[in-house]
Every structure is written in C-alpha cells, then in structure tokens.
Structure 1
Amino acid sequence: MSSIARVTTITSRSTVSFEDAVRSGIERANETLRNIEGAWVKDHTVKISDGVITSWQVVLEVTFVLDS
C-alpha cells in the first residue's frame, strides 16, 4: 500500500523569536490539517523598526499525508 502526501505553504509571525514563529505555525496548521509529518523552514525574515527587531517571520512548507 502506498501513501500520497501533500505540501502546503504557511507563513507565521512572532514577536518573540523564529522558534516561536515555527511552533505557532505548526500548532495552527495542526488545527485544520490531519497527518502532518514534517515541515521545512523555506524562508525566514525579520521586521525592524528604529534599529530594533519587532517580529520574526517564517515561511513553512508543511507536509501531510492524505487520507486513503
């Protein structure tokens, strides 16, 4: 038996850290997607105001297995 997976792109932002942005993105994706098996951090950026980082953003490629 084989399985089919799908990849979806999610963007998540945090005012705390990159790690927090990743965690929140996965937690939110888990609310609507089933069978999440992994994620790849495709991109990460920061927003800066007056020389200070104000937020961290990640673009995640989330892989989940489709129901059979």
Structure 2
Amino acid sequence: MTENIYKLVELVGSSSESISDAIQNAIARASTTIRNVRWFEVVQIRGGVEDGAVAHYQVTLKIGFTLEEG
C-alpha cells in the first residue's frame, strides 16, 4: 500500500448562478494547474446582494491533492 502525502490549497470560487456552480468553477480552474486533486471541503459560503436580490455566490474551498513522488 502506498502512503500518500496531501497538500491543501484554499480557493474562492464564484458564480452568478449557484453555490454548486461556484464550487465547480473553482475545482475546474484549479485542476488546470494542479495535478492529482482528490477532494474538497467547503469552508465558507457568502454572496453579494444588489437591489434586494442575490447577485452572485462565493464559496471558499480547501482542496486536497496528492504530492507526486520525488
């Protein structure tokens, strides 16, 4: 069995559509530059309000990825 070592990075994803889209946007973008993304944890949810309505969502995530063997 291989022992994995993980690194955590904190990101903020945003979307004008939904919390789920904000999460997907953050993970999709991170995956273009970070290899071996394995999991995420939602740390905080917030959003912006304009004219009495939700204008956008922001989700702070921690993503975990495995480090490659050196």
* Both structures adopt the same fold (TM-score exceeding 0.5): yes
Tell me, yes or no, if structure 1 residue 61 matches structure 2 residue 62.
Answer: yes
Question: Aligned residues, how many?
Answer: 68
Query: d(CA) in 2 for partners of 1:23 and 1:37?
Result: 14
Aligned residue in 1 for 2:26: 25
1:1-68 superposed matches below 5 A: 1-68=2-69
Aligned-partner SS, 1:34? coil
TM-score, normalising length: structure 2: 0.93
- SS at 2:31 equivalent: helix
Please, what is the CA RMSD of the aligned residues?
A: 0.7
Distance 1:2 1:53 in 2: 44
Q: Point out where structure 1 has 5 or more consecutive residues left out of the alignment.
A: none
Which structure shows the bigger proportion of residues in helix conformation?
1
Q: Percent identity?
A: 28
Structure 1 stretches of at least 4 aligned residues deviating more than 2 Å after TM superposition = none
Question: C-alpha separation between the residues in 1 aligned to 2:5 and 2:14?
Answer: 29
- For each residue in 1:14-33, what CA deviation from the matched residue of structure 2 results, as whole angstroms up to 9, or x when unmatched? 01000000001000010010
How does the TM-score come out when normalised to structure 1? 0.96
Q: Which runs of 5+ in 2 are unaligned?
A: none
For residues 67 and 17 of structure 2, the distance between their equivalents in structure 1, rounded to whole angstroms, comes to: 33
